[in-house]
Amino acid sequence: MANLHFHYGVMGSSKSAKLIIEAYNFRQKGTNIEIIKPAFDNRFGESQIKSRAGDLSVDAVALPNLNNYSINPNTAVLLVDEVQFFSPADIDKLVQIADAHGKIVMCYGLMVDSNEQLFPASKRLIEVGAKLHRLESSCQIPGCMRLATHHLRFDSNGRVIRAGEQFALGDSNYKSVCRQHFNEMYRGR
């Protein structure tokens, strides 16, 4: 079995819910786990991962980076939420945890930003050969049932934002859309 995994999907594809369920299942079997997230993600509190799909939450350790992080020798599985907010160097640390320490590392996050660019950490996960698991959901445009593969970010007036910060929190000004609707609304084609 692969020991480095990347569970990715668009916003609303239940990535955090999947992490919370995996944590529950591992703990039910008596498996020692650790859960971390980037300190940048403080939407639900500093040490909490919460799913918008119901009342699911789990405690996590929030870290600005993985420079000084070391996994407990008794831990078998490391769960990482919002992995896209870590750096490529942090991904290399996760590789070391998986390979040199023989731990299972399961990362959850976004692959691309709202400008169709790979997040640097997500790109690094692909480069180092993480086993990829796409979590699917459908386009949020009413009536569309195609696979959501992209994100559109909107300003307060409902206009599509085509440039700016890659790292932004929240989902109230985002929509997860299929490629066709992304091209129509982002590129005007």
82 is catalytic: yes
The DSSP output letter for 85 is G
Catalytic residue among 82, 116, 127, 136: 82
The residues, ordered by sequence, that sit 6+ positions from 186 with a Cβ below 8 Å of its Cβ are 116, 150, 152, 160, 162
**φ, ψ for residue 2, nearest 5 deg:** -65, 150
| Integer Cα distance of 39 and 94 in angstroms | 17
Cite the DSSP H helix spans in the chain: 15-28, 88-100, 120-127, 179-182
Cβ-based neighbour number of residue 169 at 10 Å = 10
Residues recognised as catalytic: 82
